[in-house]
Amino acid sequence: MIRELLPGGSDRISPTAHYTGYVWVRNGLSHPALATNAGRLFYTALAPANATSARLGQPHLEHYLLARHEVIDHLLTEAIDQGRVAQVVEVAAGLSGRGWRFTRRYGDALTYVEADLPGMADRKRRMLRATGERGANHRVEDVDAMRDSGPGSLADLATSLDPSKGLAIITEGLVNYFDIASVQTMWSRFTDVLSGFPAGLYLSDIHLGGTRSRLNQTAVTLLSAFVRGQVHLHFTGPQDAEAALRKAGFADATLRRPDDFAGTLPHCTGRSARANHIIAASTGG
Ligand X SMILES: C[S@@+](CC[C@H](N)C(=O)[O-])C[C@H]1O[C@@H](n2cnc3c(N)ncnc32)[C@H](O)[C@@H]1O
Distance CA 91, CA 262 (A): 27
- Give yes or no for a contact between 244 and 182, defined as CB atoms under 8 angstroms apart: no
3-state secondary structure of 83: coil
By beta-carbon proximity to ligand X, the closer residue of 185 and 217 is: 185
Sequence-separated (6 or more) residues with CB below 8 Å from residue 105: none
Query: Minimum distance between the CB of residue 57 and ligand X, rounded to whole angstroms?
Result: 26
Is residue 180 within 8 A of residue 143, CB to CB? The reply is: no
Least separation in angstroms between CB 91 and ligand X: 6
One-letter amino acid of 74:
H
Q: Output 28 or 57, the one with its CB closest to ligand X.
A: 28
**Closest separation in Å from C-beta 24 to ligand X:** 6
Nearer to ligand X, 13 or 86 (CB): 13
CB of 13 to ligand X, least distance (A): 4
Asked if 124 and 141 touch (Cβ cutoff 8 Å), the reply is no
Q: How far is the CB of 34 from ligand X (least distance, A)?
A: 10
Give the CA dihedral 285, 154, 250, 231, nearest 10 degrees. Answer: 140
What's the closest the beta carbon of residue 19 comes to ligand X, in angstroms?
A: 8
232 residue type, one letter? H
**CB nearer ligand X, residue 65 or residue 86:** 65
Q: For ligand X, give the closer residue by CB, 160 or 239.
A: 160
Q: How far is CA 227 from CA 36, 78, 178, in A?
A: 18, 33, 12
To 5 degrees, how large is the angle CA 223–CA 232–CA 76?
75
Distance of closest approach, residue 69 Cβ to ligand X, in angstroms: 7
Provide the CB-side half-sphere exposure for 8 (13 A, CA): 0
Residue 285 CA to residue 268 CA, distance in Å, equals 28
User: Residue 183 or 255: which CB sits closer to ligand X?
Assistant: 183
Residues that bind ligand X (CB under 6 A): 11, 13-14, 16-17, 20-21, 91-94, 96, 116-117, 120, 143-146, 172-174
Q: Give residue number: closest CB to ligand X.
A: 94
Nearer CB in complex with ligand X: 140/199: 140
Judge contact between 262 and 71, C-beta under 8 A: no
